[in-house]
A and B are shown apart, each in its own frame.
Chain A
Amino acid sequence: MPFAGFNMPINYKTGIINEHKNVRNHSGIFDVSHMGQILIENNESYLHKLEKYIPLQLKKLTKNRSHYSFLLNKDGGVIDDLIISNIDIEDKSYLYIVYNASQKKEDEEIFISCAPNAEKIYKKNCLFAIQGPDSINVLKNIIDIPNNMNFFDILISKYNNNEIIVSRSGYTGEDGFELSIPNESAENLITHLLKNENTMLCGLGSRDSLRLEAGLSLYGHELNEKITPIEAGLSWALDKERLEDENLNGNKVLSDQLKNKLSNKKIGLISTSKSMLRDGMTLFDNNNNEIGKITSGCFSPNLNKSIAIGYIISEFNTDNPIFCEIRKKLELVKINNLPFVKKNYKKNGSIYE
């Protein structure tokens, strides 16, 4: 199927549900080479310009760590969500940013305006995500992974004499790694990894159901230019000191939102029947008043029910029933705390349940 200018597989041979379960129980590999990857020199003037858009103190980013963040517009709305890391490559310090394929044009305009020599590396590097509890075992005989590498740690390793960027991260709620590897070695690496029976190739379909179960937001669904990170329930990802800084886009809007009540809130929903909840469906209270909309929905293989994320008006009391319009009929849906499935990241040497 066409996705952000790429022809992407929704699933491989065994189907979305099987791929999904293999990631939760063992391991799965996603080719996410369509995503943007850029290297920006760690230079004070570049960082200052980027801080207009990114709500972090970029000069203080810890070396070899990644952070979830955003590019913000003047109103504090989200131009894109991204992962930003501080790494050294050949003794030079860089910010390495991974961003959404669908927002490449908008993002790169900003990156290049802040750092004219920023280097888009996705043309020469593929990006693979290997996800699931067995991923470490699949990977460790092939690539050197230190024992004390935690979730959101990032480092440079080697494969076939090529330098590769390895981060312990992903977007499935499971432990896993993302590997940025030069194109000439990419196929070798995948063939090598797939020799292990515990892993398999997975497509966009299971990537979506895995991130939705993990309660993770997807750009174009839970996030867009009209929604701020605070409205999307992601205020934890904002550096609160930066909200006082006039140099940050939308800083007043954001600090006001932190202090005052929001007009909408993000919720998780679970179907009470076998009907599927899908993006764009409308939510109602028991007096037939529209109270919100679903932004993502899917079948959850772990819960064996349809699940969804959506926004409803804040004044709605969630002790009252919520109905979703499915094919012109109103069906009762239940609020479910996010995430639907607990995250399983490696922290401080152990994996928390």
Chain B
Amino acid sequence: MGAYMSEKKYTKDHEWVSIENEIATIGISNHAQESLGDIVFIELPSVGNSVKAKDEICVVESVKAASDIYAPIDGEIIEVNNNLENDAAIINQDAENEGWIFKMKISNSNQYSELMSEDEYKQFLEQ
């Protein structure tokens, strides 16, 4: 990660977010992929949609269950990871890098600072 990239942060819904030049990249945490098990399908969000934090924006289907992905912050979806369309298992292999799901242009960076740091997320998982 370059020095210009922000620290990775986490939501209570087990998404991770990192920010670079007002663009947030979002995926699900390694813990989330482990508990979901083999991921077989992802319904990607539509590019161009404006969303609010906590909106359900796409769905990850694993052999065990369907699970909603929420927008971690307000913004506009500007890109999705099309590689996942053919091979959703990338999320199992590398949830927090190659398995990123979508990027958004964020409109409220305060929301980002309110998310959990990696250490805080670890503590949250232990609770």
Residues of A bordering B, CB below 8 Å: 10-11, 15-17, 205, 209, 274-276, 278, 298-299, 306, 327
Query: Is residue B121 contacting chain A, with contact meaning CB distance below 8 A?
Result: no
Residues of B bordering A, CB below 8 Å: 37-38, 40-41, 43, 59, 61, 63-64, 66, 92
Contact A205–B40 (Cβ < 8 Å): no
A276–B61 Cα distance when bound, in Å, is 7
Residue pairs across A and B with Cβ atoms less than 8 A apart, 24 shown, are A10-B37, A10-B64, A11-B37, A15-B38, A15-B92, A16-B37, A16-B38, A16-B63, A205-B37, A205-B63, A209-B63, A274-B40, A274-B61, A275-B41, A275-B61, A276-B40, A276-B41, A276-B61, A299-B38, A299-B40, A299-B61, A299-B63, A327-B59, A327-B66
CB proximity of B76 to chain A, nearest CB, Å: 23
CB proximity of A111 to chain B, nearest CB, Å: 34
A99–B38 Cα distance when bound, in Å, is 30
Across-interface contacts of A327 in B (CB, < 8 A)? 43, 59, 66
Residue among B43, B59, B63 making CB contact with A17, cutoff 8 Å: B63
Contacts A16-B38, A16-B63, A299-B38 known; 4 new A-B pairs at CB < 8 A:
A16-B37, A205-B64, A276-B41, A327-B66
A205–B38 Cα distance when bound, in Å, is 11
A326–B43 Cα distance when bound, in Å, is 12
Which chain A residue lies CB-closest to B88? Answer: A274
Across-interface contacts of B61 in A (CB, < 8 A)? 274-276, 299
A143–B41 Cα distance when bound, in Å, is 42
A209–B37 Cα distance when bound, in Å, is 14
Contact A278–B63 (Cβ < 8 Å): no
**10 A-B pairs with least C-beta separation:** A274-B41, A276-B61, A16-B63, A17-B38, A299-B40, A299-B63, A15-B38, A16-B38, A15-B37, A16-B37
A17–B38 Cα distance when bound, in Å, is 7
Across-interface contacts of A306 in B (CB, < 8 A)? 40
Across-interface contacts of B37 in A (CB, < 8 A)? 10-11, 15-16, 205
Which chain B residue lies CB-closest to A1? Answer: B64
A274–B92 Cα distance when bound, in Å, is 17
A298–B63 Cα distance when bound, in Å, is 7
CB proximity of A179 to chain B, nearest CB, Å: 27
Which chain A residue lies CB-closest to B34? Answer: A15
A276–B41 Cα distance when bound, in Å, is 8
Which chain B residue lies CB-closest to A329? Answer: B43
Which chain A residue lies CB-closest to B42? Answer: A274
Across-interface contacts of A298 in B (CB, < 8 A)? 63
CB proximity of B52 to chain A, nearest CB, Å: 20
A231–B64 Cα distance when bound, in Å, is 28
Across-interface contacts of B63 in A (CB, < 8 A)? 15-17, 205, 209, 298-299
CB proximity of A329 to chain B, nearest CB, Å: 10
Which chain B residue lies CB-closest to A274? Answer: B41
Across-interface contacts of B38 in A (CB, < 8 A)? 15-17, 299
Most-contacted residue by chain A among B38, B59, B64, B92 (CB, 10 A): B38
Contact A16–B64 (Cβ < 8 Å): yes
Which chain B residue lies CB-closest to A203? Answer: B37
Which chain B residue lies CB-closest to A273? Answer: B41
A52–B64 Cα distance when bound, in Å, is 39
A235–B43 Cα distance when bound, in Å, is 40
A210–B66 Cα distance when bound, in Å, is 20
CB proximity of B33 to chain A, nearest CB, Å: 11
A306–B38 Cα distance when bound, in Å, is 13
Across-interface contacts of A10 in B (CB, < 8 A)? 37, 64
A306–B64 Cα distance when bound, in Å, is 12
Residue among A11, A15, A205, A278 making CB contact with B66, cutoff 8 Å: A278
CB proximity of B69 to chain A, nearest CB, Å: 13
CB proximity of B84 to chain A, nearest CB, Å: 11
A278–B64 Cα distance when bound, in Å, is 10
CB proximity of A117 to chain B, nearest CB, Å: 42
Across-interface contacts of A275 in B (CB, < 8 A)? 41, 43, 61
